[in-house]
């Protein structure tokens, strides 16, 4: 966070920011307040948070009902060890999320990466407990599942994971046939889906513990969307092979896909589901891994070696549970807020798509994205950073992924604010 001497911003001498190269990055702004879709800096600048602060802020910053729920819970029970004890907020959240997701068992952790780690460990140990040798995990090219070691291993190997390559376990990988990018020389989505499914089928000939995917959209690798039919066909093949299916809904969960869960929009029922980010409305760090009853039962035995020996200090933190319950209330009271995001984006994105330099516009629920036409696409491509600077000057915060520009604002963003985001992008594109 920037510290100011008078007006001169400088790096704080004791902070280390995430995924930030101090030698080249812009000094972070100091934010002192959040209100709805807006962030307010120490200098009084108001910025529309068009990416929900890394896809986290679900309804809006400072959402009063969530803030009140956390305060009430804090006054009552702030934390309790979840091994010997349970508490009402965790029980209520487990029942409600189970009813909503169709997965019977809920295991708490701290963030999206740990929710994925837990899903992988559950899947792996489930087979181990059954005494079956299934030694393969399958993930998709371009996947991102988090920054801890297991999550990195199943993610696409990249600049981010390169130093750790020797420490990452082997994962088989199937192509991800994102259907927005229609290069003339490339086959259409059907042909690419067929190729991807053929590869998956071949990989599944090896006894496989689990297949992990981000249903309908790979987020961090560039908002790469696939058709619902593809996700259903993946599930069909996974079932045929008897493997477990893990849906990483850390990004897509809680309405971001236009349905409460992208798995439901795609028409699949995974065995395990990882959730975080919007879980607490974006107020507190918490992850959950939902598991089917069949997976859970694989760990129930008098033999202690069949236990899932995994637990974090803050498991089922009551404040996080209270925030999650209040957030679920909001989602249940007004599902049209997330169901309607796609229609709110569409006319703006369609207008933007007419501009030269805009490639592959794509839309899923509250996630709108396009590519800037550049010669060498990739995370380090500076085109997005230039656009970020231009829109920032107009009071809009974006964080492009290389040349990929996307909007994923809080559900509570007003129409005039959404309009301002697109207007800022449009005028920036014209001046670039």
Ligand X SMILES: Cc1ncc(COP(=O)(O)O)c(C=O)c1O
Q: Where on the chain is the footprint of ligand X (CB under 6 A)?
A: 111-113, 116, 144-146, 214, 219-220, 248, 250-251, 276
Shortest spacing between CB 203 and ligand X, in angstroms: 21
Shortest spacing between CB 151 and ligand X, in angstroms: 6
Shortest spacing between CB 120 and ligand X, in angstroms: 12
Q: Which is nearer to ligand X, 151 or 244 (CB)?
A: 151
Q: Which is nearer to ligand X, 29 or 248 (CB)?
A: 248
Shortest spacing between CB 108 and ligand X, in angstroms: 14
> What is the Cα–Cα distance from 360 to 225, expressed in whole angstroms?
11
What does the angle CA 203 – CA 208 – CA 210 come to, to the nearest 5 degrees?
A: 110
Q: Which is nearer to ligand X, 176 or 422 (CB)?
A: 176
Shortest spacing between CB 18 and ligand X, in angstroms: 9
In this chain, which residue has its C-beta nearest to ligand X? 112
Q: Which is nearer to ligand X, 277 or 345 (CB)?
A: 277
Shortest spacing between CB 146 and ligand X, in angstroms: 3
Shortest spacing between CB 144 and ligand X, in angstroms: 6
Q: Which is nearer to ligand X, 119 or 328 (CB)?
A: 119
> What is the Cα–Cα distance from 181 to 360, expressed in whole angstroms?
5
Q: Which is nearer to ligand X, 220 or 425 (CB)?
A: 220
Residue among 342, 362, 310 nearest 411 (CA): 342
Q: Which is nearer to ligand X, 116 or 123 (CB)?
A: 116
């Amino acid at each position: 966070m920037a510290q100011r001497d008078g007006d001169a911003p400088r790096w704080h001498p004791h902070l280390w920011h995430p995924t930030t190269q101090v030698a080249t990055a812009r000094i972070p702004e100091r934010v002192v307040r959040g209100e709805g879709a807006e962030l307010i800096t120490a200098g009084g600048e108001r910025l529309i948070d068009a990416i929900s602060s890394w896809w986290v802020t679900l309804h809006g910053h400072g959402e009063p009902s969530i803030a009140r729920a956390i305060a009430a819970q804090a006054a009552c029970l702030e934390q309790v060890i979840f091994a010997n004890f349970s508490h009402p907020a965790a029980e209520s959240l487990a029942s409600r999320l189970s009813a909503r997701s169709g997965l019977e068992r809920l295991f708490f952790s701290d963030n999206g990466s740990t929710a994925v780690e837990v899903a992988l460990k559950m899947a792996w140990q489930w087979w181990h407990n059954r005494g079956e040798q299934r030694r393969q995990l399958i993930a998709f090219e371009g996947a991102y599942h988090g920054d801890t070691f297991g999550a990195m291993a199943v993610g696409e190997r990249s600049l981010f994971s390169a130093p750790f390559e020797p420490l990452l376990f082997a994962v088989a990988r199937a192509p991800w046939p994102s259907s927005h990018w229609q290069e003339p020389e490339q086959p259409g989505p059907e042909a690419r889906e067929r190729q991807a499914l053929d590869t998956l089928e071949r990989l599944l000939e090896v006894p496989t513990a689990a297949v992990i995917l981000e249903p309908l959209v790979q987020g961090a690798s560039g908002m790469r969307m696939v058709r619902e039919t593809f996700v259903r066909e993946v599930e069909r093949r996974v079932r045929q092979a008897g493997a477990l299916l893990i849906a990483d809904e850390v990004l897509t969960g809680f309405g971001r896909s236009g349905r409460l869960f992208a798995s439901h929009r795609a028409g699949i029922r995974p065995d395990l589901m990882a959730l975080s980010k919007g879980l607490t409305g974006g107020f507190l760090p918490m992850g959950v891994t939902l598991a089917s009853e069949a997976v859970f039962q694989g760990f129930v035995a008098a033999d202690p070696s069949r236990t899932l020996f995994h637990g974090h200090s803050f498991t089922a933190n009551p404040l996080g549970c209270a925030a999650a319950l209040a957030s679920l209330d909001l989602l249940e009271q007004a599902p049209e807020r997330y169901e309607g995001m796609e229609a709110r984006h569409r006319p703006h994105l369609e207008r933007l798509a007419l501009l030269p330099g805009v490639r592959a516009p794509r839309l899923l629920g509250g996630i709108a994205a396009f590519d800037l036409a550049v010669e060498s696409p990739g995370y380090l491509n500076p085109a997005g950073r230039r656009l970020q600077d231009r829109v920032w000057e107009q009071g809009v915060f974006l964080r492009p992924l290389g040349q990929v520009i996307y909007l994923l604002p809080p559900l509570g963003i007003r129409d005039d604010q959404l309009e301002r985001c697109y207007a800022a992008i449009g005028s920036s594109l014209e001046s670039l």
